[in-house]
Amino acid sequence: MRALSIILLLLLAGLVGLVCSGENEEKEQELAKTLAELNATKAELERVKIQLNQTLAELNEAKARIEVLKRDYYLLRKNITFKDVRRFLWRDDTDVHGKGLCYHRAIRMWHNAVEDGLFASPVVLTFPGAGHMIIAFNTTDRGIVYVDPELDVFVNVTLGRDYFEENELCSRYSGVVRDYAHFWDYEPKSSS
């Protein structure tokens, strides 16, 4: 009986050892899985740090560009003449490279004018059911002059009049100017 008890104890001890070693294997597998997740998280953290550093660098570059733009705004020639505007239009390539809507061409011409040192403003014209964008230059000898960037021509803008008829331009739209706003204005000029 004693021998049987010893044999049973030995068998039980072996079973406990097997169970313990099974638990250890499970814990080792869980530990390995946790370590793998930790390493993946560390790799993701490094990737995010790199992205953050790139974003911070881009932010600093953007801040520097804003400062240059602020400085350049004050350096723009605000006392320009009609002749300066004509010379600019002669050199400007908006009508060649400015594909797309009037908005795209107007913004391109405006940027080109600013790069050329001229103080200019995009102007939004509002028609019944439509709109158009042109550029304005405030000249010392002729006051505000308007340029249609799609055609590189000087145009007139009169509230209540058809923009296209007044400037002898072809259009399928009715262009009675309801209101317009220069980007240097705070409120639009309105015909109502």
Digit-coded pLDDT (tens) for 19-59:
555 567 777 788 788 778 878 877 887 888 898 788 778 87
> How does pLDDT run across 134-183, given as a tens digit for each residue?
999 989 899 999 999 888 889 999 899 988 888 888 776 667 888 877 77
The residues, ordered by sequence, that sit 6+ positions from 98 with a Cβ below 8 Å of its Cβ are 104, 105, 108, 109, 149, 150
The residues, ordered by sequence, that sit 6+ positions from 81 with a Cβ below 8 Å of its Cβ are 139, 140, 141
Residue 11 has pLDDT above 70, yes or no: no
> How does pLDDT run across 79-124, given as a tens digit for each residue?
889 999 999 999 888 766 656 678 888 888 998 888 888 888 899 9
